[in-house]
Each structure stands twice: as C-alpha cells, then as structure tokens.
Structure 1
Amino acid sequence: MKRATLGPDGLFPTGVVPPPWPGREVLLDGLMSYVRDTPATRPDAEPALYVHGLGGSAQNWTDLAGLLAHRLDGQAIDLPGFGRSEPGRSYSIPAFAERMIRYIEWSDRGPVHLFGNSLGGAIAVRVAGLRPDLVRTLTLISPAMPFLDPRRSLQGRVVPLLALPRAERLAARFLTQAAPEEMARQIMEACVADTTRIVEQRRREAIEEIRVRYEAAHYAHAYVRTLRGLVTSFLRAYLPGSGSLWRMARMVAAPTLVVGGLRDRLVDVRVAPQVARTIPDSRLLMLEDVGHVAQMEVPRTVARAAVALLDEQQTGTAVPRVGA
C-alpha cells in the first residue's frame, strides 16, 4: 500500500453541473439492465464501468464520469432491482459480480477501468479477483467490505430485522412512508458529510429517483435481499473457504485506488485502509470531512486521484503528488 497521488486540479472544468447522462435498456441473458453512457471527449479514451451502492443507481456517478470523460469512455449500470433495471434472480454478491462479468464480456469493452462505491466496491473486488483479464485498474470508494461491528454503520440497526419472515413487508412500509423530498433528505444526511456540497440540481434528481423507486413494486424486495446478501458475505469472509471477500481482495492484480471518507456513517472508516493493505498494488486516499459517497460529495478530488492512477498505469511510474 502507498499513499494516493492527485493530478492537477486545472485538468477539469469549473462550474459545470451536467444532467444525468442518457440511458438505454440492455437485454442480457433475458434480463433488462439500464445503462447510462458518458461519451468520451477524446478518441483515445479507454473504457470504464461504474457500479453503484446499495439503494443507489447509475446517477450516483454523473459528476465523476463527466470529469473523467477526457480520459474514459464511461458506462454506469443500474444493478438488477435498482434504478431502472429489472429485478434480478438473485441478490448475492457473487450473483451481482457474475452479472458485471457477463456485461463486460457482452459489451466487448474489456478490460475496463472498474469503479465501485459501497456495495459496488465489494462487487468490483470480486470481479477483479476472479477475472483479472477484464480489469485494467480498480477504484474503490468506501467499499462495503466485511466488518463485524454493526455499531459502526447506520444500517446496523436494521440487520436483526432481516431474520424476520415479513422483513420485506416491513422494509416496504419503511421505504415508502416518507415523502420523496423527506426521504431524499434522510439519505443525503446519511451518505454525505457536508450536504451543502450537493447542488440543487442533484437534490431534485435524487427526489425524482425516489419517486421511481416508490413506483417499483420490486424495490423493497431487492433492497432487503441485497442487504441480506451483503451481511451474508460479511459473515462468510471470516470462515474457511474460497468465497471470502478478503481472500478475493488478495487476488486482485489490477492497480487499485481506495478512497475512504473519515465521516462515513455506513461503512466502518477502518475498512478502506484494511482494503488498501490487503490488495497487493494499492493506493489509499482518506478524505477528511467526507462521507460515504466521495464521488458525489467531492468529485473533483476523486477525479484527480483517478487521473493520477491512470497516468501511473500508462507510464508505469508514480506521479508526483500535487497539493490538494
């Protein structure tokens, strides 16, 4: 593990707040997935795939994908059951990872620069560990890798409910009891350290995303099953067997950037450094006064670190650190 470097801030435009990137439906193995494309602004841009977290969507990557469009031809995908994708057949980490592998193979864009936030980070670790041929670099933002102290996550309080036979009904009631505006506020306060960094346009988009969720009868089912699958992966990580996410992390061969927020309320703040220590070729960037979704809260900083990783990968030498 080494300290992450930052590329020059002047590489990126200022004052630009792009709308959500255009999306399209992709039918793969009989299941429709929704994919948003961020067109590259240079012909030599390399392919990238962005994977969101639990309860999120492809829109979580709007700003970062736009900032990196001069280097990356980006695609952000809604996981099965989330955003505008159809519900999945299984909501385990292995099932999600297999879906991402199949998508990279089907799109014929690999190897890709793979980005994952939270749940998407855990999925990305499994993809990179199993299929190194499909991943050029790996960027993990607050990856939801296993930790066993539920007090260190706001979601810890709902974990015992997963054992109840009517957990999905309870979740459906909870997830729809508040107006979209109030639910958006609660989610932002949980995920973002400083909500003043989120511009009004992003707030409106978040409210519209929640309205879409309320109209999707499968959403509560997908959310509960995915959370249950994530908790199961946490428990298995400390048992013998090849399915441990920590064992998978040791198998990652791609140059990796790990980003953590010191005010993350959803993933134990000690996880990001542990991930960076476990993955062989890793760089760690810990951000003060930043929460769970650094790519939304401080996208320029994350973009600078991502560009430094891309430069290092292309040249084979470390990039000198530029002041933040």
Structure 2
Amino acid sequence: MTISRSRRALLAVPALCALAPLAIHGRAFAADAYPRGPVRLIVPYAPGGGTDATARLVAKRLGERMGGTFVVENRAGGNTRIGTQALKQAAPDGYVLGMFNAAGPINQAIDPALPYDVTRDFTPITVIVRSAGGLWVNTSRIPARNFDELVAWLRAHPGTAYASSGVGAANHLSMELFRESLGLDLLHVPFKGSGEAAVAVASGEVPMSVDSFGPMEPHWQAGRVLPVATTGDERYPLMPDVPTFEELGHPELRGTSAWWGIAGPKGLPPEIATRLREEIHAILREPEVVQALLAVGAVPAPIGGEDFQQLLESDLAKWKAVVARGAVTQ
C-alpha cells in the first residue's frame, strides 16, 4: 500500500510530540550537569584590582557550589578591550565567561569603531556588585586634607597628574568630569587596572586618582593616601566621614560609581545563563561573601539578565552624551 506524503507527515506528528519533552528534558539535564570541565572567567585587568578580587571570590564559590573548576584568567590591556574581544570570540557553550564593568559602555562611547557592541554581542548574566569611588590624594605629594583645599592646591599647580585604570575607564571619566566641572588643568596617566593605579598613587608616582575603596584601603590605613570625596549617591559605609560630591556642591559628579558583572558570549544557552545567575545570586546572600566583598569596597547588587541589559544600554547613552560635549580627553 502506498502512503501519501501528507499521510506520512500526519503519522510523524505524534512521534515528534513524544520527542519534544525529551528534548526539553535534555536541555535541563545539560544545565544540571554543567560544568563538565574547567570554566574560564576572563578578567580584563591585571591582578590586584577590585574586579579581579571580586572575580576570584565568585569563581571560588561557584566551583564549590557547582562541583567544577572556575579559573580566573587575567587578560589586561586596552582598558578591557583585549579581554572583552576574547570573550566575544569564545564559543557560547558556558566554558568561557567574562567580567564586565562600566568600562565597556565607556569604551564604546569613545570609540564606536570597536570590533564588538556591548549591548548586542554578549549575553548579560548578572551584575554582581556596585562600588562608590573615592577621590584620593597622596598625602606626601599633595598637602590638601579636604576637597576645598585640594581644589585650591590644584589651581595653584596646573598640570598635576592623575592616575586611572586605563583610557576610558570609569575612574578616567570621573576625573575628566571633575576637571571639566571645575575648570582644572590636569594630566591623565593611565595604568593597566586599579591595582597598578592604586600603587602608583600610594607611592607618589602619580599624586591623585578616583578609585574604588578596595585597592586604596590598605594604603589609606597606612596613611599614604586620603579620600576627600566620594562619587556615590550616598556616603559609602566604609568611609562614613567622607562627603559625597553632591554634599560638596557638585551633583554633576555623583553617580559615577563602579559596577561589576558577569557575561557570556552571544548565544549562551538560556538554561546555563539562568543556572549561573541563580548560583551567583545565592552566593551574594552568604554572610561571609558579603563581608569579603565589603572588605574590597564592593556592595552586593544582584541585577539579572534583562535589567543588566538595560544597565548596559543606559550607561552607553549616558557616556555618549559626555563624550559628545567634549568632556573626555585621552
């Protein structure tokens, strides 16, 4: 007996329907079994900064919770460009992830010709932490002990240098806004990450910078540096006596706090992204992790995939406006 093509198609439908739950179960099983091998977590900075410290803490706990190995791989250079490009080129299988921060949208605002788009070429998994920065001065190079004294000293010493963790980094943009707002003459000296920049300021090689609490805290405790303002919307819990820029009469300089998150390549399976997000959010609720993050100047800020995507888009729009009015010089 000859069976028509349409008849064969109809007979195939029940079989396909029976296989569909198996396919869904297979994807769920794959997420449950993940990871089956080492996972590389790219940090686009040199070791020693806040991003690196946060990545190592989260990688360690992910490995312990998920029964795998998460290895931090530092790929410094180009103010996150090298590490971010490596993440874009990775296979979207969950075995290469990357740390993201505000430098991504800033780089794109400064250089639209980048070989990637932070809002389209990656899978945002979750924001991990936020950290307000401080305006720090080397106590042996600059005699100022508060914000007004610093501004007066800088006006009397044009061409004073400041350090950043790289061209286009959040602390670079913060210092450029500071320079523009107060009409100061400052010289930008970029380094490869907050760790190197913090050491440069603490040693007096460069006399000032905006940076997060973590890299600067030991130098502050040793009396080598002093914070005279913070960039957050509120006073930072670990620096309660240091006023915000808004309190000092400069609201235009607030809100440039740093954030750090984790993303994957574009096309990362949703079930793996969801599993990672859930595990990271659980880690951020652990009291010992919260304390460890506070020790490096970071406050847990678990923001999921869609909200993370919106953060990338809003940051890009904000920094494009800053660049468009000429507030950034390299």
Q: Same fold (TM over 0.5)?
A: no
- TM-score w.r.t. length of structure 2: 0.31
Q: Which is greater in Rg?
A: 2
